[in-house]
Amino acid sequence: MISRRNVLIGTTAAISAGLLSRASDARAAEWPARPITINVGNAPGGDDDTLSRFLAQTASEELGQPVVIENRAGGSTTVAGNAVAGAKPDGYNILCLITAGLVQTVLRDNLQYGLDDFVPIVEIGGYPLALIVSAKAGITSLDDLMAVAKSPDGVTFASGGVGTMGHLTATMFLKEAQGKGVHVSYKNNPEGIQALAGGFTQMIFASAREAALLKDDPNVRVLAVTSPARTTNLPDVPTTAEIGYPQINSRVWYSYAAPKGVPDEVVTKFSAAIIKGVKDPKFQERFTPLSFQTDIKTGDELTAFLKGEQDKFRKVITENNIRLNN
């Protein structure tokens, strides 16, 4: 038999749940009521920092609140990733999720968070990579590179660190080319490029933006870019498809994500503000000449893309026994 007391308890619980739900909806509708922080996993001056600072200006105007950048450098973006994964899902802490950050989720055994701890908001596009070789080390053409890669010692290739796009792309390239390589890890791409120009290493995959700065350097040669079409800043450089390696189509992409549980309204509003910024002619005028390629994804398309990227990297990492344990 149902007592009057049980009915009252049930009714009170239902009313409370409804009030909480409406309060949550109201908070989401009022978002943002205070400044929003975009957490960037690298130091000021990097591409993720530069892009985010530019887009934060438009987002601030659209959302009616300051959008500020907080640089949480360290651990190949994992410091920022960990901070946002553990933040309150109220829309006031956003992560600039980049390719290197996604790689960490399959590269590190002891990472305290994963892709499922975030809600993807929007991807904006990115930079293709470029295959660069050391003329100072005697490599000036693809034939020269293949001869070294297929020699008993293989080619010595640089990267900005274990698990970076430069490292993984070079590994994929050498497998497709049926060559061998010895990886030399540097603190960042500029150090790796400097070693290449000095003849200490023989090959590197860096961003097409970085490669364009080297096109007049007699110590290096830019052999290819990994985009489907030639880039605006390296129009004379063929694509990897043109030189016979269509499978090598890596790019460094940039996206934004929030902690799991963030209201849908926050995702909708923030993605709209970022997309407006990317489509702004001022954004295109600044970044397109640097080879930035706009590629906007949201919703299910973005989720599928991120999971596909994660699977791709997991395969490369597993097959080549690439690990980081710290």
Strands 203-207 and 36-40: unpaired
* pLDDT for residue 28 is more than 80: no
Mean pLDDT along residues 245-249: 95
Q: How far apart are CA 100 and CA 109, in angstroms?
A: 15
Fold (topology level) of 128-243:
D-Maltodextrin-Binding Protein; domain 2 (3.40.190)
Fold (topology level) of 36-126+252-320:
D-Maltodextrin-Binding Protein; domain 2 (3.40.190)
Q: How far apart are CA 233 and CA 231, in angstroms?
A: 6
Q: How far apart are CA 4 and CA 23, in angstroms?
A: 28
Mean pLDDT along residues 239-254: 96
Residue 293 has a pLDDT of: 95
Band (25; pLDDT cuts 50, 70, 90): low
Domain boundaries, the chain: 36-126+252-320, 128-243
Q: How many CA atoms lie within 13 A of 52 on its CB side?
A: 30
Q: How far apart are CA 139 and CA 196, in angstroms?
A: 11
Q: How far apart are CA 225 and CA 234, in angstroms?
A: 8
Mean pLDDT along residues 284-302: 96
Q: How does 279-308 read in b/e, with b if 16+ C-beta sit within 10 Å?
A: eeeebeeebeebbbbeebbbeeebeebbee
The Cα-based distances of 238 to 128, 193, 246 in angstroms read: 12, 20, 12
* pLDDT for residue 13 is more than 80: no
Mean pLDDT along residues 190-195: 95
Band (27; pLDDT cuts 50, 70, 90): low
